[in-house]
Structure 1
């Protein structure tokens, strides 16, 4: 009887054994499984981009360029070593379009969906993995930490929200862009395809353009640029925030409202503050620069400053030559790119909530209080430790990559630092340095993009046990700090 029961529980088919192996591996280390999925996707797309059919000239793309493009696409970065509009064929552009959609879903969420497909159901392990994408605190407090942005029971709805938000938002953005492209004299078929392409690149915060001129034909079109800004912003706030807003809208229709979590409030507040602060800085620093905003009127200067502030956070679109910005503006852009957007979003960077936690900790220290409070809620100390780790590892990645690129190219520090931070933060803006890199530099930048998108904390967790309990405490002693 027991033997018969065991035989029924043990998979006998090839597919059943594969599902069991995947579930076992994913359960032991969701982070390692997610990174494995991402690496596999990059390798597959590298092979596809290397095919002659992917290029206009029907010639094989060099390995360095194919790999860099694959990483840039899957990591939704937007940097390139080739002309994305003229180098790739129709098949190549389809690869880019599909790749950014896959990459936008996120590392752990994408792994969860693949696990769902293989397992034919959204089991507990898959739910824990999807929860981790919006809750990196699982490294310290377990997969379902108290106060996480998305509850475990809502993960299925979150995954549905991810798919629906991508379809709906990209569809609306495409519909709004389509008539403007027709008015610009672009044929109907090309306008339809380009509007879909632009909408995907906006929501995924990638920044590729389907035409060789880039945004030059629409550089003064407030409607076109404004729609792109909306698409980029919605992609950058994060899927948990979109989910919370959608839930509130549904509850308002029923006469009930749900209290927004601290994560949602901090994300929206910091996004607004950084958008306005960045725009103000660009107005002050670039209003008299004849190579950028100096030739524009006051109204145009304000609008273009807000556009650049939005794109500097991860959008990647540009209406000006970034290399022409003043050094002070490049430094401001470096800071905005490094911060990035919201957690579990299509944006990169250390994330706005990380900056908010560090600011709250500094304020608590200045006031002489022990706890960090936000919106009448106490933020535990392990959140601060995670925020410090994210900033430290991010800064280390940028520093190491910058030193290597500087040694390889002998280029100016401000240009090297800008492109490296853009790669780490998966932003896509460039001073033009990336296109001129030697193959070794291309591989370094590709690794920087991968570390920035996968997340240094997730990568560190993949190389160690997900959670380690310490059963003892050492004697306490305070070193001098500051």
Structure 2
């Protein structure tokens, strides 16, 4: 029993720590950089952590600082971090299912009535194939576009197509261009491909598996309802905000035509959901846009996917609890299903730990750097949520602040999942009830 409770969370942490270590050693070798000599240890560590935690932040220009060998290492780290978290979370969810005995909460567990190793291996194979197929399809489409619309050679187009497909599906946000995704600000086709890869990869495999089996919304589980409807709401809010605040901003979308403005706004609504592609300079966006991005980045995407943040289901589950409390309902519910008290406490714990982590990180970086709080908060949330969007502040921070961002990326990638799973698994039954007391709230 002890192994079941503590083993999975420890496995996730160890997996990521080992991967970051290997990536750091590889990137610190002299033949991975474009210039003479080798990368500084801090730069190699930051890049390896960012790639493994599928964040996309970097203290250097990834496109020019690293040579093709370095880019291959980064790509492999992104793939390991993305598929690693998905397959490990699949295993954790299977253990969670076997421990709690809740049938049908997630589509990935719908057919899992046992916790046998054979079934675990079968499930993980399906998940890996799903993501690899998605990456391959996106890579082919990007390669064709780069080859015939941008005049790239076949080899170069194929490499860029594969790199950006893996980066998009895994919500990493790394690019091979100095200007980032802004290179495609006037190309709706590429923007649509990147947005599609980010959205599908970040929604989470449990949702996609359930959508394939249960196409009628009435048949969806609570998790799928929260994730799908919540993702649509956040997308529409982000799109409306980006259009409202940036369409007339001469430093961002103002000079663009209607079609380009619309597609860049769609990117502005999708990419902050834990994929650090940027089609505009975030140092030039309006304060309202930056504030909306704080929220979108912190919430993140779907559970058991390649996205980060506290997760859409966590945020909207807490919203459902608030609505039920305001209405004076005896049970918090979503649709015709009540939310167990243990799940409510779990969601509240994950959210408040996230808030606390961001606040501590921001205060430490402010102390170390003396930079404006608005920019530091943006960078801090981006690191914790593994979004990777940056105002360019990362490269200006002292090395000590880089280690804080590394810690935030690591905690954001593995912390919320391991904390949530550990809380769900550590369900103990008391043989007695304590007397209740009602403190003043509010």
Is the 1:109–1:130 contact (alpha carbons within 8 Å) kept by the matching residues of 2? no
Is the 2:235–2:269 contact (alpha carbons within 8 Å) kept by the matching residues of 1? yes
Instruction: Look up the match of 1:92.
Output: 70
Alignment of 1:365 with 2:339, yes or no, is: no
Instruction: Look up the match of 1:395.
Output: 355
Instruction: Look up the match of 1:122.
Output: none
Match of 1:50 among 24, 28, 31: 28
Is the 1:106–1:345 contact (alpha carbons within 8 Å) kept by the matching residues of 2? no
Alignment of 1:197 with 2:172, yes or no, is: no
Alpha-carbon spacing, 1:273–1:465, altered in 2? closer, same or farther (3 Å): closer
- Partner Cα distance (2:218, 2:327) in 1: 32
Alpha-carbon spacing, 1:461–1:177, altered in 2? closer, same or farther (3 Å): closer
Match of 1:181 among 142, 146, 153: 146
Q: Deviations over 1:286-309 (max 9, x none)?
A: 222111122223333222111111
For 1:202-351, what aligned pairs fall within 5 Å after superposition? 202-248=168-214, 259-351=219-311
Is the 2:185–2:264 contact (alpha carbons within 8 Å) kept by the matching residues of 1? no
Instruction: Look up the match of 2:116.
Output: none
Q: Secondary structure at the match of 2:403?
A: helix
Alignment of 1:131 with 2:131, yes or no, is: no
- Partner Cα distance (1:167, 1:111) in 2: 17
- Partner Cα distance (1:358, 1:461) in 2: 17
Bigger shift: residues 265-274 or 298-307: 298-307
- Partner Cα distance (2:193, 2:430) in 1: 51
- Partner Cα distance (2:440, 2:341) in 1: 20
Alpha-carbon spacing, 1:46–1:459, altered in 2? closer, same or farther (3 Å): farther
Alpha-carbon spacing, 1:368–1:390, altered in 2? closer, same or farther (3 Å): same
Is the 1:106–1:346 contact (alpha carbons within 8 Å) kept by the matching residues of 2? no
Is the 1:130–1:155 contact (alpha carbons within 8 Å) kept by the matching residues of 2? no
CA RMSD of aligned residues (A): 2.6
Alpha-carbon spacing, 1:261–1:219, altered in 2? closer, same or farther (3 Å): same
Alpha-carbon spacing, 1:94–1:457, altered in 2? closer, same or farther (3 Å): closer
Instruction: Look up the match of 2:50.
Output: 72
Equivalenced residues, count: 433
- Partner Cα distance (1:29, 1:287) in 2: 50
Unaligned runs of 5+ in 2: 114-118
Alignment of 1:34 with 2:12, yes or no, is: yes
Is the 1:348–1:425 contact (alpha carbons within 8 Å) kept by the matching residues of 2? yes
Q: Secondary structure at the match of 1:37?
A: helix
Q: Deviations over 1:408-463 (max 9, x none)?
A: 11111110000100000000100111111111000000000001000246258779
Unaligned runs of 5+ in 1: 1-22, 113-126
- Partner Cα distance (1:88, 1:144) in 2: 48
Alpha-carbon spacing, 1:403–1:98, altered in 2? closer, same or farther (3 Å): same
